[in-house]
Amino acid sequence: MWIYEKKLQYPVRVSKCDVRMARYLTEQYGGADGELAAALRYMNQRYTIPDKVIGVLNDISTEEFAHLEMIATMIYKLTKDATIEQLEAAGLGPNYAQRDHALFYQNSAGVPWTAAYIQAKGDPLADLYEDIAAEEKARATYQWLIDMTDDVDLQDSLKFLREREIVHALRFKEAVEIIKEDMEYKRVY
C-alpha cells in the first residue's frame, strides 16, 4: 500500500543542541493533539466515513505519520549530543534513566500517550468537526513552538508543519461540505 522512500517529507535541520526544545517537541510526538494521535484518529475514523470522503482521512492520516517522523528526527537531532546533565536540567532525566536517548510516546510533561486521545463518534460530521479542531490545536501548538526557539533552521521545519495543519483543516472543512450536500440530496427508492 505504501512505498517508503528514505527521506523526510520536508528537510529537518537544527543549528544546535537544545534539549529544552526537544522536550517541548515531545508534545507533538506523543501528546493529545500530536501527530501520532492525529494519524491514528483519522485512520480509525475512515471506517465509518462515507466513501466520498474516505480518501481525505486516509491521505491526511498517512501524512501525519510522515510528520511524526519529522518530529522524531527533530528531537533526535536536538538531543544527540546532549550530556546527562543537560537532559536532567531540561527535565528529561527520567526518560534517560528509563530509555537512554530513545524516544517514547509522551507529552512534554512526561505523561505517556494513551488511546483515549483517539476520538471517534461514528457520525461523519461529528468526527470531521473533531478533526478540524485537532488540526487547529496542532497549528496553534506549532506556532507556540516556533515562538519558543531562536533556531531559524528548526523554525523552518516547524513552519512547514504549521502550514500543513492549516491545509488539513481546510481539507476537512471541504469534506464537511461534501457530506452536508450529500445529506440534502433527495433519494427516491
Active site residue 136: no
Active site residue 101: no
> Which domains, ranges and CATH numbers included, belong to the chain?
19-184 (1.20.1260.10)
Q: Express each pLDDT in 107-144 by its tens digit.
A: 999 999 999 999 899 999 999 999 999 999 999 999 99
Active site residue 64: yes
- Please, which residues have CB within 8 angstroms of residue 143's CB and are 6 or more apart in sequence? 162
pLDDT-based confidence at residue 1 (cuts at 50, 70, 90):
low
3-state secondary structure of 9: coil
Instruction: List the grid coordinates of 34.
Output: 500530536
Residue 185, pLDDT score: 72
pTM summary value = 0.92
Q: Pick the catalytic residue: 165, 174, 177, 184?
A: 165
Q: Pick the catalytic residue: 5, 63, 67, 181?
A: 67
Active site residue 67: yes
Active site residue 174: no
Average pLDDT over residues 151-155: 98
Residue 4, pLDDT score: 78
Q: Pick the catalytic residue: 135, 136, 177, 181?
A: 135
The secondary structure element, H or E, covering residue 153 is helix 152-184
